[in-house]
Structure formats: C-alpha cells, structure tokens
Copies of this chain bind each other. A is one copy, B any other.
Amino acid sequence: MKIGILGYGNLAKGVECAIRQNDDMELAAVFTRRNPADVKIKTEGVNVYSVDDIVAHKDDIDVLVICGGSATDLPKQTPEYAKYFNVIDSFDTHARIPEHFANVDKAAKESGHTALISCGWDPGMFSLNRLYANAILPEGNDYTFWGKGVSQGHSDAIRRVEGVKNGKQYTIPVDSALEAVRNGDNPELTTRQKHTRECFVVPKEGADLDKIREEIVNMPNYFADYDTTVHFISEEEFEANHSGIPHGGFVFRSGVTGWNKENKHIIEYSIKLDSNPEFTASVLVAYARAIARLHSEGVTGCKTVFDIAPAYLTAMSDDEIRAHML
C-alpha cells in the first residue's frame, strides 16, 4: 500500500512515523508548498516534491493523506485532490462537516475515488464511541471531556498577549465532574464545571506580570468562562517541561435499561496521549488502509468513520481476528 503525504508539519511527521510501524505500507512521496529542497524528511530514499507537481504522481499513490489545517487548507485541498487520488483528512471544524462532506463526496464520486474526512480522535474515535454507546443505550446522557492536554488555539492566544515571550495552555477536566458522571449522577455541568485551564507563560524581560495574568484570565471566548491559573516560568523550564504536545480525553454514555428503567449503565472511553499529532496520525494511517481496500472493492465517494466496518482497519485477516480478537 503506497501512501502519499501532503504537507510536512507535526501531523504529517506523525503519519511518516506511523507508516513505518505498519509492514503492509510504504511512504511513496511527500508533497509540500515550500521549496522541496528545504524540506528534509526522515524516511530514506523517498522524494519530496512540490505540490504543484502532485498530479503527475497520481498513479504512484494508493491513498493521499492530506495534513493541512481545517480553517482554510482542507476545505479547498480535500475536494481538489479527490479528483486525482483516494484521500483522507482530519477536518475538525464540527459545524462545517456536512458542507465539507458534500464537497468531497461530489469530487470523489465524479472521479471514481474513495475519500474519508474528519478522521482522528475528535472527530474520529470519540465520534465512534458516541455512536456505539448511543445505539446501545438509546436513553441516557453523553459527556465529552478533553485533556489533560495542550490546546494549540489557546496557546496561540496567550502568545499574542503583550509582554509574553512564550506560552502554553493545558485544558484539564475537573476531577469531581468526571467522578459525578462515572457514578451515574447525570450532572448538568456548566463550562466552568467541566474544565479548568492552566497556562505556563515565559514573560519578556520587565513585563508587568499582573497585567499579563489579568489579560489572560479575562480574555473572552478563550478564558473568561473558565477557572484559569497562570504560572510564570523561565525559558529553560519551558523547554524542559513544556515542549511536548500531550493530549487526551474522555467520552461517557450514562444510560438506563429495564422495564422501569431501573438499571444504570456507564460506558467510558478514554485516551491518554504523549503526542496528540502522532496518535491522530496513527488513526489516519489505519483508516488509509480501509480506504485503499474499499477502493479496490469498487466503493467510491466520501465516507466517515461511521461508514467503515472495523475489520477494514487491520492488516490481519478475517479468520485471524475472529480467532484472536473476538
């Protein structure tokens, strides 16, 4: 199975690593908007090309993993490259998924390709767990918590504050809220009751720390609705302890069964990730396998994780998974 990667940021680097962990796959090429000579990849013997030349490689690639951003890249890239390739992306702007799906579906059907959008962990594995749990327990409540982990958007917002040299923000689920959900209490939780936000800030020399703190904790949309803690640290401490991109989260379904709805059930799915982009990439690579297989069966158009039978994700045969995983 020959995989192409479009882009070479953190997610793309994760895809490159994940391909190496799957014996039935190989990296065919990386495509970049930068000067290809400036992009050094890890895999030996694989070429980096300009994205302007991508169509010339359409017969060399089984699935193209598109590693652009959801705000402006993917809405254009995924429908465009679905004309020439089987494609997969991690589009994560939940509200715009129906529109993105329609655009990609049209392009993929017209060209006879297979596409998968919104793959990763949320959307992705979390969505799957919401769906399975809702189908099993139709009467109940859903809860999703994120963290502990780095929010890129909130870290960017901190770094835009005057006097801030560097900064990182961790989203943290509130333990008492997790416990109440786990106990089947079905709490109604406000934004403030679900998550706290913890910021590690490297100030510029001579900056007014109180002013920075006030500006962060009162920032509308990002921090005002949360209990936010701000820690000021040195550049050295930042490099030593806050250079990773961990993340994680929890999906719960709390439901009832029985003739009089007398029995409670809790389904909980959680992940704890040292590297958010590498885990997301690992999900993308497993689904790339599924997309290549569906395409070889003649399936075309756009899919989501809801449309893919689990057996398509693994390199093991149906006999093996029935014997060893069921």
Contact between B271 and A268 (Cβ–Cβ < 8 Å)?
A: yes
A306 surroundings in chain B (CB, below 8 A): 309-311, 318, 321-322, 325-326
The smallest beta-carbon distance between A182 and chain B, in angstroms, is: 7
Among B136, B258, B274, contact of A263 (Cβ-Cβ < 8 Å): B274
Among B20, B128, B270, B275, contact of A132 (Cβ-Cβ < 8 Å): B128
Q: List 29 A-B contacts (CB under 8 A).
A: A14-B257, A20-B259, A98-B322, A125-B136, A125-B267, A128-B132, A128-B310, A131-B310, A134-B314, A134-B325, A135-B286, A135-B310, A135-B314, A136-B283, A136-B313, A137-B282, A138-B315, A257-B275, A257-B278, A257-B282, A258-B275, A265-B271, A265-B282, A269-B269, A306-B311, A306-B321, A306-B325, A307-B310, A309-B309
Which partner residue on chain B sits nearest A140 by CB separation?
B21
Contact between B257 and A264 (Cβ–Cβ < 8 Å)?
A: no
How many residues in A have their beta carbons less than 8 Å from beta carbons of B?
70
Q: A258-B17, A258-B278, A272-B265 are in contact. Are A304 and B326 (CB under 8 A)?
A: yes
A308 at the interface (CB under 8 A from B): yes
Contact between A182 and B123 (Cβ–Cβ < 8 Å)?
A: no
A54 at the interface (CB under 8 A from B): no
Contact between A270 and B272 (Cβ–Cβ < 8 Å)?
A: no
Q: A130-B325, A131-B313, A286-B136 are in contact. Are A266 and B272 (CB under 8 A)?
A: yes
The smallest beta-carbon distance between A235 and chain B, in angstroms, is: 23
Near B by CB (< 8 A), chain A positions 95-137 give 97-98, 101, 118, 123, 125, 127-132, 134-137
A281 surroundings in chain B (CB, below 8 A): 257
A137 surroundings in chain B (CB, below 8 A): 282
Which partner residue on chain B sits nearest A184 by CB separation?
B272
Contact between A268 and B269 (Cβ–Cβ < 8 Å)?
A: yes
Q: A269-B269, A271-B266, A325-B127 are in contact. Are A313 and B132 (CB under 8 A)?
A: yes
- Which A-B residue pairs are the 6 nearest by beta carbons? A135-B313, A263-B274, A257-B278, A306-B311, A263-B275, A135-B286
| Cα of A128 to Cα of B289 in the assembled complex, Å | 17
Which partner residue on chain B sits nearest A139 by CB separation?
B21
Contact between A98 and B135 (Cβ–Cβ < 8 Å)?
A: no
A118 surroundings in chain B (CB, below 8 A): 326
A18 at the interface (CB under 8 A from B): yes
A22 at the interface (CB under 8 A from B): yes
A283 surroundings in chain B (CB, below 8 A): 136
Contact between B275 and A321 (Cβ–Cβ < 8 Å)?
A: no
A40 at the interface (CB under 8 A from B): no
Q: A266-B272, A271-B265, A309-B306 are in contact. Are A98 and B282 (CB under 8 A)?
A: no
A319 at the interface (CB under 8 A from B): yes
A85 at the interface (CB under 8 A from B): no
